[in-house]
């Protein structure tokens, strides 16, 4: 009966709880990755390399989350069998993931500042050069059409972005149909720029807002997961030492 009151026994009991928290942190990272890569990031693809970091960090979260879920079970087995080798391996892998999570959180936050400062002019020039029209099937035009329809906006800065662009030179229109508030109306003719017909504001502020939300979610999610994993990491080390 005395054994049930020893620090070692208490540590093993708490270890099961810590492993559950670790597995939960992994599932949070997996959910965060799915949210980032399959929701708003579909729209921010039009920002090109300026938003590519969201996908990279998102997929990194998917990998880290999957590993942490597996580690939660592996550490439990290591503790049950009192395997120092398993515990040491789990400890080292967890430390590496903690470092990567903190780095990923920093990258997600830092790159948003870069996007905010340099992406506007780059995407303005790119739109004027590469956008072809509403009926075109190229990836660039289709992405911008989706953005303008979903976010109810027109161009990068505003609807005048298409004036003098390759799109206007090819079609003679000053804006594409995707800028219209209602695609089926006669007034949506590429020339009527009334506020009743087309969306006047540009898409960049709305895209930037989505990017900021995703960056904040990624940073907060990675840091939160790291905090959740830290007690389990320390408990793994203590249990490894105790079994020595």
Q: What is the pLDDT of residue 1?
A: 43
pLDDT number for residue 154: 96
On the question of pLDDT at 2 being above 60, the answer is no
Mean per-residue pLDDT of the chain = 88
pTM score over 0.85: no
Above 80 in pLDDT, residue 239? yes
Spatial distance between the Cα atoms of 92 and 96, rounded to a whole number of angstroms: 6
Stretch 203-230: mean pLDDT: 91
Average pLDDT on 223-244 reads: 90
- pLDDT interval class at 94 (50, 70, 90): very high
Residues above pLDDT 90, as percent of the chain: 54
CA distance 228 to 24: 9
Rounded to whole angstroms, the maximal C-alpha distance in the chain is 89
Nearest to 75 by CA among 93, 48, 54: 93
C-alpha pair distances (Å), 110 with each of 54, 78, 219: 12, 38, 10
| 182/47: higher pLDDT | 182
29-44 mean pLDDT: 82
Instruction: Work out the angle between the directed axes of helices 49-80 and 84-130 (0-180°, nearest 10).
Output: 170
Integer Cα distance of 41 and 91 in angstroms: 33
Token pair for 98: 């903690």
117 and 50 Cβ atoms separated by less than 8 Å: no
How confident is the model at residue 40, as a pLDDT? 66
pLDDT of residue 52: 77
């Amino acid at each position: 009966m005395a054994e049930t009151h020893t620090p070692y026994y208490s540590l093993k009991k708490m270890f099961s709880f810590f492993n559950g928290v670790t597995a939960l942190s992994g599932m949070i990272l997996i959910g965060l990755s799915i949210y980032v890569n399959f929701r708003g990031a579909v729209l921010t693809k039009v920002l090109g390399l300026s938003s590519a970091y969201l996908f990279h960090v998102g997929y990194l979260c998917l990998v880290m989350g999957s590993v942490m879920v597996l580690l939660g079970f592996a550490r439990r087995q290591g503790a049950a069998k009192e395997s120092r080798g398993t515990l040491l391996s789990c400890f080292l892998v967890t430390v590496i993931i903690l470092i990567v999570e903190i780095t990923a959180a920093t990258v997600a936050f830092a790159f948003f500042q870069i996007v905010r400062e340099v992406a506007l002019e780059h995407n303005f020039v790119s739109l004027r050069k590469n956008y072809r029209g509403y009926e075109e099937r190229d990836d660039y035009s289709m992405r911008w059409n989706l953005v303008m329809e979903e976010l109810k906006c027109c161009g990068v800065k505003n609807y005048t972005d298409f004036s003098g662009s390759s799109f206007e030179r090819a079609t003679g229109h000053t804006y594409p149909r995707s800028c219209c508030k209602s695609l089926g109306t006669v007034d949506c003719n590429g020339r009527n720029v009334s506020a009743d017909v087309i969306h006047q504001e540009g898409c960049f502020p709305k895209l930037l807002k989505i990017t900021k939300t995703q960056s904040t979610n990624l940073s907060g999610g990675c840091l939160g997961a790291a905090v959740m994993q830290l007690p389990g990491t320390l408990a793994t080390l203590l249990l490894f030492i105790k079994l020595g």
